[in-house]
Chains A and B, each alone.
Chain A
Amino acid sequence: MLQARLTVEPSRSARPEELRAEGTLTNVGDEPEEVRPALLASPSLALEITGRSGAPVPLPPPPVPGLEEANIRLAAGEEHRVVFASFAPAWLEPGGYRVRLRYRPSAQEPVVSDWVGFEVG
């Protein structure tokens, strides 16, 4: 069973592209889990951003599929860490937003982190 966490630093920046997010997928179950790193490589695939009102903020298009790394095997208790050096689009208007990590390897419910707030401006 996988659990997702996300942190954002700094929590406020005048330049959206300077916001950095770090996500972690942890195997909190007893059995090993396979993780596809391609689904976490791009903020466009792995993050959801909303405005204060809850309206989704569209992210730039994701990478062209077809070049994938091998799956990662997480043993029980192991975690996989991803860093999004610049996850917020440069054209984000000043204001408050929320972001969460979303790992969606199938049509079933994705594994999501808690929402984390950040400010632009």
Chain B
Amino acid sequence: MPELAVTVAVPKAREAARAGRKPVPPEELAVHVSIANPSDRSVPFNVLQAQHPSLALEVEGPSGMRVLLPPPSAPSEAELGRGEPIEPGSSVTLEYRAFLDPALGPGTFRARYVGRVPALGGTPDDPLVSDWVDFEVPPPPPWPKPWWPYPWRYAFDRLRRYIDIVLFWRKCRRVWEAEVDEAVSETITNAPPGSEAWNGTYGWRARFHLRIEQSTCRVIVTVRIRVTGAVTPAQQTAWETAIEGAWSNIFKLCAASRCCGNGYAIVADVQFVSSGEHQVVVAGASTVNMGNWGAADAVDVRHEFGHMLGALDEYFTVNGTDFGPGRQATGAIMNNPANAPVARHYELVRTQSQALMGAACTTKAAADPC
């Protein structure tokens, strides 16, 4: 439980609502955050870091869609430190102004403080979180009406329409690309008698290239693998076919954007390389972990590929969740390698895609509507 306590208020929005006035435009809203120390000891807190709304606030729009905030500026030395302690019984107040897009509205939005690191009062597993605070946002202002009379107004309107068409067309041809390299860990416990060897903490790096294409409505996840050991070209092809078949076109990302209204199909692409790899795989007699694959195996390698995308194991107890024995008939691929993945196995792909596109994404089955 975090030692600090946090409250959030949006006073101008509250006053406008009480007085029955129109909602305050987002660029005029200020979010007030108060961080208090009710404990009996000093608690470190970095006010400079907390002043960045994108580091400390979460904002959601109507229907719960996350509103992505602008990136913070490059940190200074002071912003990277643990900060100054908040003394017992003391508090600090932060005010966030002019960080919301003027074109945000309309609708009911909500904001809260979330500190997921010690410098912001919490930890990844136990963040410092305030209650949500609602505020209304008015419709964004329309394009300004030109003051010049007809026919110039007509000409301007036509020109604006053509600009919209061109920009819309260009928007649906965008491509985003990024290299993903994330540290992943899991702790397995509760292995049954005789399987205690599985209990322990494991770590690896999920590495892949992410490419999002609006023109084809696809998210292409490429893992470059350098193979050593004895494996034939046919066996390598069998690996590739098995993996791509298991992980491609099963799920899609539904993004809050005008393009690809039916979602971006997630496609897995395995490339075997001699250098510049994301992962090294040693071919051997059997598949025994993410880096050691059976040359003749085309089943368990599908599960190991899931680890390369950041998915965790789902047998025994993993990070506190009890999944039961491995290789259950109805288990998903991270429990039973012979079966299909489920949406949560693409979570790293989803969050990275969301960050790239700057639009909230949800993972859905390929056949489901967005």
Distance from A47 Cβ to chain B, minimum over Cβ atoms (Å): 11
Interfacial chain A residues near B201, Cβ < 8 Å: 56, 58
B42 within 8 A of partner (CB) = no
Q: Is the interface of A mostly helix, strand, loop or mixed?
A: loop
In the bound complex, CA of A43 to CA of B315 (Å): 19
The interface on chain B, measured as residues whose beta carbon lies within 8 A of the other chain's beta carbons, has a size of 41
Contact A65 B291 (CB under 8 A): no
Contact B202 A61 (CB under 8 A): yes
A75 within 8 A of partner (CB) = no
Flag the segment in A3-11, A23-31, A102-110, A112-120 that touches B: A102-110
Contact A65 B315 (CB under 8 A): yes
B313 within 8 A of partner (CB) = yes
Q: Which residue in A17, A45, A56, A64 is a CB contact (below 8 Å) of B303?
A: A64
Per-residue interface assignment for chain B, residues 194 to 233, with 1 indicating a CB less than 8 Å from any chain A CB and 0 otherwise: 1111100111110000000000000000000000110000
The interface on chain A, measured as residues whose beta carbon lies within 8 A of the other chain's beta carbons, has a size of 32
A14 within 8 A of partner (CB) = no
Distance from A29 Cβ to chain B, minimum over Cβ atoms (Å): 21
Contact A90 B327 (CB under 8 A): no
Residues in B lying within 8 Å of A, measured CB to CB: 185-186, 188, 191, 193-198, 201-205, 228-229, 279-280, 282, 284, 286-292, 300, 303, 307, 312-313, 315-316, 325-327, 335-337
Interfacial chain B residues near A1, Cβ < 8 Å: none
The 9 closest A-B pairs by CB, nearest first: A58-B203, A42-B288, A66-B327, A86-B282, A60-B290, A90-B280, A104-B197, A65-B326, A66-B326
In the bound complex, CA of A94 to CA of B288 (Å): 25
In the bound complex, CA of A45 to CA of B198 (Å): 6
Interfacial chain B residues near A46, Cβ < 8 Å: 197
21 residue pairs from A and B, CB less than 8 Å apart: A17-B282, A42-B292, A45-B198, A57-B203, A60-B202, A60-B203, A60-B289, A60-B290, A61-B186, A61-B290, A61-B307, A62-B198, A64-B303, A64-B326, A65-B327, A66-B326, A86-B282, A89-B291, A90-B280, A105-B194, A105-B197
Residues A64 and B205 in contact in the complex (CB < 8 Å), given A45-B197, A104-B197:
no
In the bound complex, CA of A59 to CA of B201 (Å): 8
Q: Which residue in B191, B291, B326, B336 is a CB contact (below 8 Å) of A60?
A: B291
Residues A106 and B193 in contact in the complex (CB < 8 Å), given A45-B198, A63-B289, A65-B198:
yes
Known interface pairs A42-B289, A63-B288, A64-B303; 14 further A-B residue pairs with C-beta atoms within 8 A, sorted by A's residue number: A46-B197, A60-B289, A61-B188, A61-B307, A63-B289, A64-B327, A65-B325, A65-B326, A67-B327, A85-B292, A86-B291, A105-B194, A107-B193, A110-B197
In the bound complex, CA of A85 to CA of B290 (Å): 14
Contact B288 A44 (CB under 8 A): yes
Closest to A83 in B: B284
Interfacial chain B residues near A64, Cβ < 8 Å: 300, 303, 313, 315, 326-327, 335-337
Interfacial chain A residues near B316, Cβ < 8 Å: 65
A41 within 8 A of partner (CB) = yes
Q: Which residue in B194, B279, B326 is a CB contact (below 8 Å) of A106?
A: B194
Interfacial chain A residues near B303, Cβ < 8 Å: 64
Interfacial chain B residues near A66, Cβ < 8 Å: 325-327
Interfacial chain A residues near B327, Cβ < 8 Å: 64-67
In the bound complex, CA of A64 to CA of B307 (Å): 12
Which residues, 51 to 104 on A, are CB-close (under 8 Å) to B? Answer: 56-67, 85-86, 89-91, 102, 104
Distance from A85 Cβ to chain B, minimum over Cβ atoms (Å): 5
Contact B286 A41 (CB under 8 A): yes
Closest to A46 in B: B197
A35 within 8 A of partner (CB) = no
Contact A61 B204 (CB under 8 A): yes
Closest to B283 in A: A85
